[in-house]
Structure 1
């Protein structure tokens, strides 16, 4: 085995530009009385702060910031987080709690069953650590992608990124399925600054273990050529050892070639 590879899901395994991000924009528009609808650039700017991995919290934060720009203070607002979350979910999952009919149903898949089979064939343990809910993540991984009970650490299982606890949990679960994984380098694959910071924090907490951050450009950035370079640099500055355009580019050969990078604790 050359490494353990753990993947983020949103922006890496599935395109959330017209689902999570659309639901986020819808939610902000709803709770600002349609006065403000954040653009994709607005959302990227917020997420580049490195602490807004949770889109429910990101929605609330953008609502707060809009009203602050209008001269109101947070203490003056009567925002209810649960109401914000509930509205967001009606857009993302839909209005039917059993047979989902929201934006999630149309998310383009960015990986393939064959890709993960190729990692298995190369004797590379792999799993997922995502800020998505377990229901949403399992829907994509199992129902849409066709994986069978993959190792998954979701929102309900661990603190949000950039806390590395969920990454360590995924690695520990993979250690139960594969022999001789102790001491293998950990490769975490994500598309945001928070994902890269997760690896930086993992090195701080376990400096004896090599942890490598691999950045992936999300589809909404690939569609905006003028922003590709700046987004790539943001990921590198946040800790990425390499940044690829698509997750399928992370082949067993590339995984082997990035060994020896990202070793030093920060």
Structure 2
């Protein structure tokens, strides 16, 4: 029997607060390769609002290039190796034996949170641009979830390509057309839903945007507007506001 709905969650900004981990590593990576430019949270949000920079390694590279462009240099003039960016970023974020900034991630939900969807007859899983190791570290190592469905960086192209959510949906509802809801915190997440709808029009698709913890209260309305413009059906202030009752309301 098909589930009443499929609820797919992003991880960064939804399950864990990455403002002091991924984002801190991004800031320090950019500062290292520019020898001083330290992008603000607003700078990073502005880049991600474009919808094309879900991967923080790529986002770091882009901010580095844009910095040098403001200094009058063409990208072709900048001596930059992507592999060096990734290595430096990971040395800060993951560290040695997981002792990097990943240790500073606060959890935004508990394992019990997901059981309410199971009790309501809804299937759930995770689609994230994080590496499988990083995602599993938080889902299994810290939350204690037992082998949850996870589509990670290694499993599908980066968002807003919908391949990941399409793959997860097919695994959770192979024979049916239950509505799928994707819960994310970026424009790329919401655009992923739009692209999935275009590729699988037989299934209802919905995007729920969540304001991530790093966004200041004064900036929340503008951030929410960007999520709506990106395609969100609803915008919530925190992940726990997404409940089976809300899912039923949104899907009709």
TM range (shorter): over 0.9
SS in 2 for 1:88: helix
- Is the 1:3–1:184 contact (alpha carbons within 8 Å) kept by the matching residues of 2? yes
For structure 1, the 5+ residue unaligned runs are 261-266
The C-alpha deviation readout for 1:3-39, integer Å capped at 9, x for no partner, is 10000000000000110000000000000012x1000
Match of 2:146 in 1: 148
1:213 paired to 2:214: no
How far 1:143 moved relative to its partner?
0.5
Match of 2:176 in 1: 182
**What is the 5 A alignment of 1:95-134?**
96=96, 99-134=97-132
* Runs of 4+ displaced beyond 2 Å: none
CA distance in 2, matches of 1:257, 1:24: 37
1:12 paired to 2:10: no
Match of 1:23 in 2: 25
The C-alpha deviation readout for 1:31-62, integer Å capped at 9, x for no partner, is 0012x100000000000000000000000000
CA distance in 2, matches of 1:218, 1:236: 14
CA distance in 2, matches of 1:192, 1:209: 22
CA distance in 2, matches of 1:207, 1:117: 29
* Mean CA deviation greater in 165-174 or 80-89: 165-174
**What is the 5 A alignment of 1:1-266?**
1-34=3-36, 36-94=37-95, 96=96, 99-175=97-173, 182-221=176-215, 224-260=216-252
* Mean CA deviation greater in 48-57 or 225-234: 225-234
How far 1:175 moved relative to its partner?
2.8
CA distance in 2, matches of 1:244, 1:225: 13
- Is the 1:190–1:214 contact (alpha carbons within 8 Å) kept by the matching residues of 2? yes
How far 1:249 moved relative to its partner?
1.0
- Is the 1:232–1:243 contact (alpha carbons within 8 Å) kept by the matching residues of 2? yes
Q: TM-score by structure 2 length?
A: 0.97
How far 1:170 moved relative to its partner?
0.9
For structure 2, the 5+ residue unaligned runs are none
Q: TM-score by structure 1 length?
A: 0.92
Aligned length: 250
The C-alpha deviation readout for 1:110-165, integer Å capped at 9, x for no partner, is 01111111111111100000000000000000011110000000000000000000
CA RMSD of aligned residues (A): 0.9
The C-alpha deviation readout for 1:194-234, integer Å capped at 9, x for no partner, is 0000000011111121100000110011xx11101000111
CA distance in 2, matches of 1:244, 1:43: 21
SS in 1 for 2:206: strand
- Is the 1:2–1:255 contact (alpha carbons within 8 Å) kept by the matching residues of 2? no
